[in-house]
Structure 1
Amino acid sequence: MALFGSSAPAAAPAVSDPESQQLKANILQQMQQEMAVANAKKLISRINQNCFDNCITNPGSSMSSSDSTCLSNCMEKYIQFWNVTSKVYISRATTEQVAANAMATSE
């Protein structure tokens, strides 16, 4: 069974190679943007969960200066860690893409 329950196999669209490459690039860019948004939301959620739980010991109508300092330091650490992790990930992904392109052109 193929696309949407049809018994006929899904036919590939008749797209020329440059159009296909552009379509792939557009889809990849959209996916990367969506992943970046999802990752940013995850970062904010983790900061809220961990930093708030660790720093705000007595919730009230206002934060104490020590709570505020703790929260700021915690957020800065998370963001620094996020930046380091992102740089390493991008570096590895770029290296793998270059290697994949080199293998594809050598075949």
Structure 2
Amino acid sequence: MASLFGGSSATKQAQPSQEVRKEQIMEQVKQELQLASAQELINKMNEKCFEKCVPKPGALLTRAEESCVTMCMERYMEAFNVVSKSYVTRLTKERGQLGSAGGGMLGGEAPSAL
């Protein structure tokens, strides 16, 4: 009867292990960081493009202002994608060199800006 009242291994198996829970929390934090980064990108893009394209804000945007904002945002996203791909490529390359060389960059040190 001990199995009905909490002494069994089935109860232990029903609860996620610490390692699984840790991975779940890490994944949640990664997702929250990605969301925060996306929100920051959108806010920065809106701010920069609005400043550039709408010199005198009014009740409505003119066609020229709408066109300018659209093109600005497209260019901003293109530039962001190019920089992101280059950054990921560089990180991958540096990590590969670290793995084969057995050292180099310190673990907490970020690579220099592109």
One-letter code aligned to 1:67: E
Q: Match of 2:39, as an amino acid?
A: K
How far, CA to CA, are the matches of 1:53 and 1:102 in structure 2?
Answer: 47
Describe how 1:88-107 pairs up with structure 2 within 5 A: 88-104=86-102
Structure 1: stretches of 5+ with no match in the other structure: 1-18
AA in 2 matched with 1:69: S
Give the total of aligned pairs: 86
Amino acid at match of 1:57: P
Q: Does 1:85 align with 2:80?
A: no
Aligned partner of 2:54 in structure 1 is: 56
Bigger shift: 82-91 or 39-48?
39-48
- TM-score scaled to structure 1, two decimals? 0.62
TM-score scaled by structure 2? Answer: 0.59
Shift of residue 49, structure 1, vs aligned partner:
1.2
Q: Runs in 1 of length 4+ with deviation above 3 angstroms?
A: 21-35
1:100 Cα deviation from its structure 2 partner = 2.0
